[in-house]
Amino acid sequence: MKRCSSLWILGIERGSEGLLKTFNSDIPYNLIAWTYMQPLSPQLNAIALTVSRQMVSDLHPADLAEIISQVPQKEGAALFENLDIETAAEALSELEPDKQAEMIESIEPEKAADIIEEMNPDDAADVLSDLPTEVAKEILEHIEKEDAEDIQELLHHEEDTAGGLMNNLFIAYPPNITVSEALERFRKDAEEVEPVYYIFVVDPLEKLVGVLSLREMILADPDKLLADVMQTKLRTVTPETDEMVVAEIISKYDLVAVPVVDSDGVCAGVITVDDIIDVIMPREGKRKRRKV
């Protein structure tokens, strides 16, 4: 069945709102009612959201990205510019590469930097690699040094490798702390890292020595050391591993994430199953990451 465009869906919705209520049904969450829209010209060739900022923020990022992509560039940029930083970062992650660059270039470098900084480093690196070099450098200058270094580190890896897929933000603890200590740390650390599936256990040289799923950590004896409850039979990849090999490993061993280690065994990052879904079902215009 041929899919209708978002604008046509919006038009149909105005006549169907009452019908849906008759059957005690609501408008699907990914449609915007005409009551939240207004024409910007008599010909209705441009529209604007009149819904409150809070209600826009409550939309799923993928639906918000679709709205931005479907309306004319000027209106899409205006909507994007008025989003709060967190919502803008989430929506930006869902846009196609060319639209991401378009939106970031439409706003001031300072705000662009705030949005990029809110994203996971791997997503941020993807966006910056598609921008003109001078624009990307200017944005990086406005990002905190530590975050900028995380992003630049990822820009050195090719897009179709484990290094290009991985997120270099992850949670790792030493093996000689107790489970209760790890849980206490996790409550604070998890606010800065998303998503989290495993806790990595590293030695003083940051070499990966074990892994612990969140379920295993929660169910473990709080007084035991991580060294006593961690899994030591590890499935890992290197930054140079081809992305399809990574996908095969995650599928074969039924993993939700796989650690990336360098030649010395030091944990460099993590690749999650949602990263692999993007490999298996790539978006249109898949990018090739370039250095900035």
Q: Is the pLDDT of residue 290 over 70?
A: no
Cβ burial of 279 (10 Å; 0-12, 13-18, 19+) is middle
Pick the range with the lowest mean pLDDT from 71-75, 140-144, 198-202.
71-75
pLDDT band per the 50, 70, 90 thresholds, residue 38: low
Q: What is the pTM of this model?
A: 0.68
pLDDT band per the 50, 70, 90 thresholds, residue 292: low
pLDDT band per the 50, 70, 90 thresholds, residue 184: very high
Strand order in the sheet with 198-202: 172-173, 198-202, 208-213
Across residues 62-71, what is the average pLDDT? 89
C-beta atoms surrounding 101 within 10 Å: 20
Q: Which of 52-56, 150-154, 259-263, 280-284 has the highest mean pLDDT?
A: 259-263
| Pairwise CA distance, residues 177 & 76, whole Å | 50
User: Which CATH fold would you assign to the domain 172-280?
Assistant: CBS-domain (3.10.580)
pLDDT at 225: 97
pLDDT at 8: 34
Q: Which of 10-14, 82-86, 154-158 has the highest mean pLDDT?
A: 82-86
Q: Is the pLDDT of residue 268 over 50?
A: yes
pLDDT at 35: 43
Q: Is the pLDDT of residue 47 over 70?
A: no
Q: Is the pLDDT of residue 287 over 90?
A: no
What confidence tens digit (pLDDT) does each residue in 128-143 have?
988 999 999 999 999 9
User: Which CATH fold would you assign to the domain 6-159?
Assistant: MgtE N-terminal fold (1.25.60)
pLDDT at 54: 60
pLDDT band per the 50, 70, 90 thresholds, residue 10: very low
Residue-range domain boundaries for the chain: 6-159, 172-280
Q: What is the mean pLDDT of the chain?
A: 82
3-state SS of the chain?
CCCCCHHHHHHHHHHHHHHHHHCCCCCCCCCCCHHHEEECCCCCCCEEECCCHHHHHHCCHHHHHHHHHHCCHHHHHHHHHCCCHHHHHHHHHHCCHHHHHHHHHCCCHHHHHHHHHHCCHHHHHHHHHCCCHHHHHHHHHCCCHHHHHHHHHHHCCCCCEHHHHCECCCCEECCCCEHHHHHHHHHHHCCCCCCCCEEEEECCCCEEEEEEEHHHHHHCCCCCEHHHHCECCCCCECCCCEHHHHHHHHHHCCCCEEEEECCCCEEEEEEEHHHHHHHHCCCCCCCCCCCC
